[in-house]
Amino acid sequence: MKQENEHIDPKVEEMLSCIETHAKNIRHQNDLMEMVDNLAEAEVSAPKRHFWLYWAGATVAACVALVLFVVPKDAPRVAINPAGPVLASTQDEHFAAAYSPAETKKTSTVLIARQTAELDDGLGDNAQELQPSIVPTLPMKEEAYAYSETEDGIRVYCEYQCNAEEVIAHLEEIVKQSIVKP
Amino acid sequence: MNVEQFKSIILRHQPAMQRMAESLLHDEADAADAVQETFIQLWQQRKELDEVASTEAYCIAMVRCRCIDLLRKRHKVIPVDMQLSDSATEDTEERYRKAIEMVYRLPQQQRQTILMKYEELMSSEEIAQRLGITLSNLYTTLSRAYASLRDMLEKE
CB A153 within 8 A of CB A117: yes
Q: What is the span of the domain harbouring residue A52?
A: 1-71
Of A11, A21, A23, nearest to B153 by CB-CB distance is A11
Do B149 and A23 lie within an 8 Å CB cutoff?
no
Residues of A in contact with B96 (CB under 8 A): 18-19, 22
- Tens-place pLDDT, residues B44-53: 888 888 887 7
- Tens-place pLDDT, residues A23-68: 999 999 999 999 999 988 888 776 666 677 777 888 888 888 777 7
Do A18 and B11 lie within an 8 Å CB cutoff?
no
Alpha-helical segments (H) within A75-114: none
Quick check: helix, strand or coil at residue A8? coil
Tally the residues of chain A: 182
Of B6, B14, B142, nearest to A25 by CB-CB distance is B14
Do B121 and A28 lie within an 8 Å CB cutoff?
no
Of A71, A105, A127, the residue at which a domain comes to its end is A71
- Asked whether residue A124 is domain-assigned, the answer is yes
Quick check: helix, strand or coil at residue B84? coil
Residues of A in contact with B7 (CB under 8 A): 33, 36
**Based on the domain organization, do A62 and A121 belong to the same domain?**
no
Quick check: helix, strand or coil at residue A136? coil
Do A6 and B143 lie within an 8 Å CB cutoff?
yes
CATH class belonging to B3-73: mainly alpha
- Tens-place pLDDT, residues A125-158: 444 444 444 444 445 444 444 444 445 444 444 4
Of the CA atoms within 13 Å of residue A84, those in its CB half-sphere come to 8
CATH class belonging to B88-155: mainly alpha
**Cα dist from B57 to A148, A154, B43, B48, whole Å:** 94, 95, 16, 14
Cis, bond preceding A85 (omega within 30 deg of 0): yes
CATH 1.10.10.10 in chain B is located at: 88-155
pTM over 0.80: no
